[in-house]
């Protein structure tokens, strides 16, 4: 059974809203993060859906639903990755962005996904969790089942590669716990913005799919 309590200090909103409202708001963000890790739409959807399903079973007992679903999603992906061969090709990102996404922002998102896809899997997971899911170093380490030192090393290597490939400077902002956080760091701001655009695209595609299904008589519960 997964723990329903996140690490102390998790930047999360306490539960108190109906599960359906949380699901509608946060499911696209989970899919966006999982897709940035795997590059596979179906796997990302499965991971996010599994995390939300587990949360729905324990909704009355979960105090920090965002932290809980992020952790379960990561654990699902780790179990999935164990089934893969050791050779993992660079992910192919089939990107869906909202219709009002400006061309320059679209190019930034594509560049970020391409840069993430070029990272080794461990480094990619760490950067997605910290940059897109806004997890702290200790939270990412707990979710990945890795030591904090191992996560720090992976993040340091990934940051250097991403800064070089994306043209960012070397400036870094420390959280005070030895780990670099998104606050004021252009790289992490770019990762966060990419996650927001991806989530909006996923939500928009879901809304359009639901409307089309309803038009065919296939929407809603029977």
The predicted pLDDT at position 134 comes to 83
The predicted pLDDT at position 168 comes to 81
Structural domains of the chain sorted by starting position, each given as residue range(s) with its CATH number in brackets:
19-89+101-209 (1.20.140.160)
The predicted pLDDT at position 176 comes to 44
Instruction: From first to last of the 222 residues of the chain, give the pLDDT tens digit.
Output: 344 333 333 445 545 789 999 999 999 999 999 999 988 888 899 999 999 999 999 999 999 899 899 999 998 998 877 665 444 555 666 788 898 999 999 999 999 999 998 999 899 999 999 889 888 888 889 888 899 999 999 998 998 899 999 988 665 544 444 455 555 778 888 999 999 999 999 999 877 654 444 344 444 333
Say whether 174 sits in a helix, a strand or coil: strand
d(CA 197, CA 29): 9
Are 106 and 194 a contacting pair, CB within 8 Å?
no
Q: What is the pTM of this model?
A: 0.78
The predicted pLDDT at position 29 comes to 94
Which DSSP symbol is given to 40? -
The size of the chain, in residues, is 222
The predicted pLDDT at position 89 comes to 56
The predicted pLDDT at position 169 comes to 66
The predicted pLDDT at position 95 comes to 82
The predicted pLDDT at position 9 comes to 36
CA distances from 212 to 20, 49, 136, 215 (A): 21, 21, 40, 5
């Amino acid at each position: 059974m997964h723990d329903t309590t996140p690490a102390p200090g998790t930047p999360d909103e306490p539960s108190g809203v109906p599960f359906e409202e949380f699901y509608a708001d946060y499911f696209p963000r989970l899919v966006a993060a999982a897709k940035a890790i795997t590059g596979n739409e179906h796997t990302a959807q499965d991971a996010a859906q599994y995390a939300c399903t587990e949360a729905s079973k324990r909704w009355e007992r979960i105090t920090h639903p965002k932290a809980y679903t992020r952790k379960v999603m990561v654990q699902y992906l780790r179990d999935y990755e164990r089934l893969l061969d050791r050779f993992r090709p660079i992910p192919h990102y089939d990107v869906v962005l909202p219709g009002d996404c400006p061309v320059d922002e679209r190019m930034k998102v594509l560049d970020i996904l391409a840069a993430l896809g070029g990272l080794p899997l461990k480094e990619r997971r760490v950067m997605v969790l910290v940059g897109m899911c806004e997890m702290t170093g200790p939270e990412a380490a707990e979710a990945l089942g890795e030591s904090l030192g191992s996560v720090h090393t992976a993040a340091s290597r990934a940051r250097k590669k991403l800064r070089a490939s994306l043209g960012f400077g070397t400036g870094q902002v420390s959280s005070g716990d030895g780990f670099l956080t998104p606050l004021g760091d252009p790289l992490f701001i770019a990762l966060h913005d990419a996650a927001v655009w991806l989530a909006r695209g996923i939500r928009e595609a879901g809304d359009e799919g639901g409307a089309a299904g309803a038009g065919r008589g296939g929407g809603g519960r029977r």
